[in-house]
Amino acid sequence: MIVTTVTEAKAQLSALLERVQRGEEIVLCRSGKPVARLVPLGREPVDRKPGRLRGRIRIREDFEELPEEFSSAFEMGEP
């Protein structure tokens, strides 16, 4: 991904469009903050791959347990 200012993009628009056609993304910034993104038209969404993070994410054993302060705040009793 390329990050550039609006001023630079004006001066290099043709070159930036060629890069976008090759599949690159261009982020345009104004005053150091991103304001727009140039992407190829008709770009296909990235295929999701289930299980890609398997082994990299851990869920704590007490995940389903609701802390007492929350259950009392929502007037929830024990199941």
pLDDT in tens, 15-45: 999 999 998 999 999 998 999 999 988 766 7
Fold type of domain 1-40 = YefM-like fold (3.40.1620)
Domains of the chain by residue range: 1-40
6, 16, 18, 67 from 21: Cα distances, Å: 19, 9, 5, 52
User: What mean pLDDT, rounded, does the chain reach?
Assistant: 85
| Best CA proximity match to 16, nearest among 5, 26, 31 | 26
| Best CA proximity match to 32, nearest among 8, 67, 66 | 8
Rounded CA separation 21/39 (Å): 8
Q: What is the pTM of this model?
A: 0.50
